[in-house]
Structure 1
Amino acid sequence: MPQFPVGQTLLIDADDTLWENNVYFERAIAAFISYLNHHEYSPAEVRQTLNAVERETILAHGYGLPSFTRSLVTCFERLSPEPMNDEKRQRVIGFARSIAEQEIELLPQVEETLRDLASRHRLILMTKGDHAEQADKLRHSGLASYFSAVEIVAEKDPAAYQTVIARYELAPHTSWMIGNSPKSDINPALAAGLHAVFLFHKDTWILEHATLATALEGQHLIELDTFAKLSFIF
């Protein structure tokens, strides 16, 4: 028996909540670090530099594969003891391109669970990133029909959630954000007055790591380890 009544509004994240995503970036990064094969910096130090570069690139160019590609090229240019020639540039770009070639891999029981939830509640996809990329993923996922609306935002911060709350006239006491990122899905949603469900994913992007905020009085923060368990909550 679900814990909450029919008629909730569930804002649901996409990458690493509905389908695998970051694991492909991690593979590309591992290949990049191996190719760089730095003799002064350890792989961990190279990764720290890449993380810093990614933060810079995101501020200037947002999320998505083009931004990630820029980060790999910039990191290589900063760390390589030799200048980057066209051949090396194409190799580095190829690591990012390999991500785009991946088929959408839904996480376990996602479609069955969405079908079940959509029969009782209003589902809205809320994800961040490059609009064209995220829309294309949704089309190829086969999940679009379960959502009454789609929100693709540049950043998930409290202001973005407040905009969505106003646009869809959401009642905070019956509205939830569901996702795997403390930084983007849980903490800003709680700050905007929503309830939240944190879905643990072992490969959540390191730049999305954060300490989970504390729900205020009257708010709910639920932690689950599988998407399918949402049917027992809602």
Structure 2
Amino acid sequence: MTKLAAIGFDADDTLWHNERFFQMTQERFLALLSNYAEPDHLADRLLAAEKRNLGHYGFGIKGFVLSMIETAIEVTDDRVPASVIRELMEAGREMLSHPIELLPHAREAVEAMAGRFRLILITKGDLLDQERKLAQSGLGELFDAVEIVSQKTEATYRSAFGRHGEGPERAMMVGNSLKSDVIPALDAGSWGVHVPHAVTWELEHADHPDAQARFRELADLSGLAPLVEEILAG
């Protein structure tokens, strides 16, 4: 029996760029509110709002825009100009229409695994936005299943790899977030492969699970095919 039957891929900042657009929009937000608070204070207040609102709005651009508007209202004591609110909403629409740019080696890595294993895209975020990005990426037809979820937990991976593969023990999850992609997959019994991205949202940071026997880290996705061969031969 093969040691791997299914491979899960994260989407944002694993297969294509994402977080840098949030960073660019945040810089725009800081500039718009610069007359009301210092940049570091604004950034801290925005992060607190995002964290507070995750349970209400989930992950993604729409929740980010609502958190920016909420923060703008708070730091201006309800005096934020309508023009600022309008510009924040325009910034969100620009993010939702931004062209997809694949990360280096993403297509080659997915193509190399397609047909050999069940491929599952497992991603968080807004349903319509994630569907748009997958369609524009040109990678959609390579995946056997797509899971757009509100959270990534141990139960998420047990369920996804159980329904679309042969259980978590014979699966691998590949992603840029230790907190969402790697650690819960390891807890489910899968292989967890960390592919760091240059920009990672602060709320996705976590300690490296170096003690986990099934944890691996790659510099980029060009190392995925050799890693899979190593695991199969081991």
Fold shared by both chains (TM-score > 0.5): yes
Superposed CA deviations along residues 43-87 of structure 1, whole A, max 9, x for unmatched, are 122111100000112111112222111001001111125612322
Which of 81, 94, 115 in structure 2 is aligned with 1:85? Answer: 81
What does 1:135-174 align with in structure 2 at a 5 Å threshold? 135-174=131-170
- CA distance in structure 1 between the partners assigned to 2:76 and 2:127 by the alignment: 33
Compute the TM-score of the two structures, normalised by the length of structure 1.
Answer: 0.90
1:35 aligns with 2:24: no
Which of 183, 198, 204 in structure 1 is aligned with 2:200? Answer: 204
1:233 aligns with 2:217: no
Which of 40, 49, 52 in structure 1 is aligned with 2:48? Answer: 52
Q: Contact (CA 8 Å) 1:9, 1:176: kept in 2 or not?
A: yes
- CA distance in structure 2 between the partners assigned to 1:32 and 1:47 by the alignment: 9
Return the offset for 1:182. Answer: 1.0
Which of 56, 61, 72 in structure 2 is aligned with 1:65? Answer: 61
Return the offset for 1:141. Answer: 0.7
The residue that corresponds to 2:19 in the other structure is: 22
- CA distance in structure 1 between the partners assigned to 2:38 and 2:83 by the alignment: 24
Q: Contact (CA 8 Å) 2:3, 2:170: kept in 1 or not?
A: no
Which SS does the other structure have where 1:177 is aligned?
strand
Gaps of 5+ in 2: 229-234
Query: Identical aligned pairs, as a percentage?
Result: 34
Amino acid at match of 1:220: R
Equivalent pairs counted in the alignment come to: 227
Superposed CA deviations along residues 211-233 of structure 1, whole A, max 9, x for unmatched, are 123454xx411101111111111
Q: Contact (CA 8 Å) 1:7, 1:122: kept in 2 or not?
A: no
Amino acid at match of 1:9: A
Amino acid at match of 1:224: L
Return the offset for 1:119. Answer: 3.8
Amino acid at match of 2:75: L
Kindly report the root-mean-square deviation, in angstroms, between the aligned alpha carbons of the 2 structures.
1.8
- CA distance in structure 1 between the partners assigned to 2:94 and 2:168 by the alignment: 40
Which SS does the other structure have where 2:89 is aligned?
helix
Q: Contact (CA 8 Å) 1:176, 1:195: kept in 2 or not?
A: yes
Gaps of 5+ in 1: none
